[in-house]
Amino acid sequence: MHSREELLACVIARLIGDARHVAVGAASPIPATGCELLKARGAPIRVSRIHQRKGNPFTEGSRELFDLAGQGRIDVFFLGGAQIDGEANINLVRAEGRRFPGSFGSAFMYSMVRSTILFREEHSPRVLVPKVEFVSARGDPAALLTGKALFSWQKDRRRFRLESTHEPGDIRADTGFSYDSSSPGLTPAPSAEELSLLRGPVAKAIAADYPDFAKRVWGIN
């Protein structure tokens, strides 16, 4: 058996593909795990974990991150939000009367990075909404991955398409925006090799920067 976190990390590794430089946020242990899985397979990937003790090559905070993105030297970045709508807009400012940390450089990164993956574990009408209350950033994502499903983005239609679900069943009632779908299958489960890497070298690498996550998922202290 595999955990949901392990499944999502495997999906992220597939989405990253042959990218050479991936930047991961401070609160993104699952995307970081997907990156480490690729590294464990021998992929020549550079991973920058922003605002973490290790794996952060930047000396001047986010300015260097934005410089690299503007030069086209970051291939993949991850964005989430308090809300994500069916037009791929994200909201990092306010929702349902609550305020959040803010947009920061999300609009810049969304437009400048070649492949932006929208990622949010929670899959509910509260998060996946018809229209965000505040547009922090808009763009053309490579995909939207949640705790229940994987969506591709149809740039010409500006609309998501459901590619797979992580468990059998209809997710429309859990999704606040409308989307296209044509007999989506189940998301492929992690292979035995992937699980072995995740529970071995990947878990050890992740524990240095995300100790609580590593303890919860793999029992590493």
How much is the pLDDT for 58? 58
Place of tokens 């349902």: 96
Nearest to 29 by CA among 220, 221, 205: 205
pLDDT band at 60 (very low <50, low <70, confident <90, very high): low
Which residues neighbour 24 within 8 Å (Cβ) at sequence distance 6 or greater? 31, 32, 35, 47, 48, 49, 50, 78
> 178-200 pLDDT, tens per residue?
999 988 899 999 999 999 999 99
Cβ atoms of 75 and 20 closer than 8 Å:
yes
**pLDDT at position 59:** 55
Least confident of 20-24, 123-127, 214-218: 20-24
CATH topology assigned to domain 4-80+114-127+139-218: Glutaconate Coenzyme A-transferase (3.40.1080)
**Residue 6 pLDDT > 90:** yes
Please tell me the least confidently modeled range out of 23-37, 130-144, 159-173: 23-37
Angle, to 10 degrees, between the axis of helix 29-40 and the axis of helix 4-16? 60
Tell me, yes or no, if the pTM score tops 0.75: yes
Average pLDDT taken over every residue of the chain: 91
At 34 the pLDDT is: 97
Q: What is the pLDDT of residue 48?
A: 83
Cα–Cα distance for residue pair 214/24, rounded to 1 Å:
17
Region 103-119: mean pLDDT is 91
| Residue showing tokens 């990937």 | 45
Domain ranges of the chain: 4-80+114-127+139-218
